[in-house]
Amino acid sequence: MHIYDVSTLRRVKHEVQINWSRERTFSVRQMNFISQNTPISRGIYCIYAKNHKFAYESSQWQNRRWSRVVYIGCGWLDQRLVHHLRYGKNNVLTDFVENFDLAFRCDRILDNDPSIDYPRAVEAALLYLFQSKFGLMPPANRREERAPELGCDEFIINQSPNFDVFSSG
C-alpha cells in the first residue's frame, strides 16, 4: 500500500492505494503456509467467507445488503494472521474459522512516517466506511478503531480491482 500526498493549494489530502494480495485460504491447516508466505511487514488484511454472504438489513433501505467480509484488521501481517488461528483470542472469529471456508487478502504498508500510524488509520477508515455502507461493522470485529489525527482535510482510499472490501457479494 502506498500513501500519496495529493494536496492542493486549499486542501491537504492523503490518498491510499491498497493493492490487495491474491486470495489465500485462512484455516488452521494453512497456518504454517500463512506464516512462511505472508510478508514480514506491517499492513492491513481482510478475512472473508469464500462461499457465503452475510445479510445486513435496515428499515431505511429498500433491499438487504450482502457482504462476505468477516474481519478487517491491521498489524504485523505474518504474526497477526497466524495468532488469530493459533490462539483464537477472538472467539467470534474462531467460530467463523470453524464453520465457514474463509480466505484473506492483505497489503503491506510502505510508509516511513514516525508520527502517523498508517496501518491503524487505514483500518479505522475501512471499518468506518464498511459501517457506513452496511450499518454494522464486520461480524468478527469487536470494537471500533479510532482514526488517529492525520492532519489532513481528506483521506481517500482506493482499492485494486481484484478485490473490494465494500462489494455487495
Q: Which of 58-67, 98-107, 115-124, 144-153 has the highest mean pLDDT?
A: 98-107
How many Cα neighbours within 13 Å face the side chain of 72?
A: 26
Residue 4 has pLDDT above 80, yes or no: no
**Do residues 31 and 110 touch, judged by C-beta distance below 8 A?**
no
- What are 82-94's pLDDT values in tens digits? 999 999 889 999 9
- What are 27-80's pLDDT values in tens digits? 999 999 999 999 999 999 999 999 999 998 888 888 888 999 999 999 999 999
Q: How far apart are CA 100 and CA 61, in angstroms?
A: 28
Residue 133 has pLDDT above 60, yes or no: yes
**Do residues 48 and 25 touch, judged by C-beta distance below 8 A?**
no
Q: Is 3 helix (H, G, I), strand (E, B) or coil?
A: strand
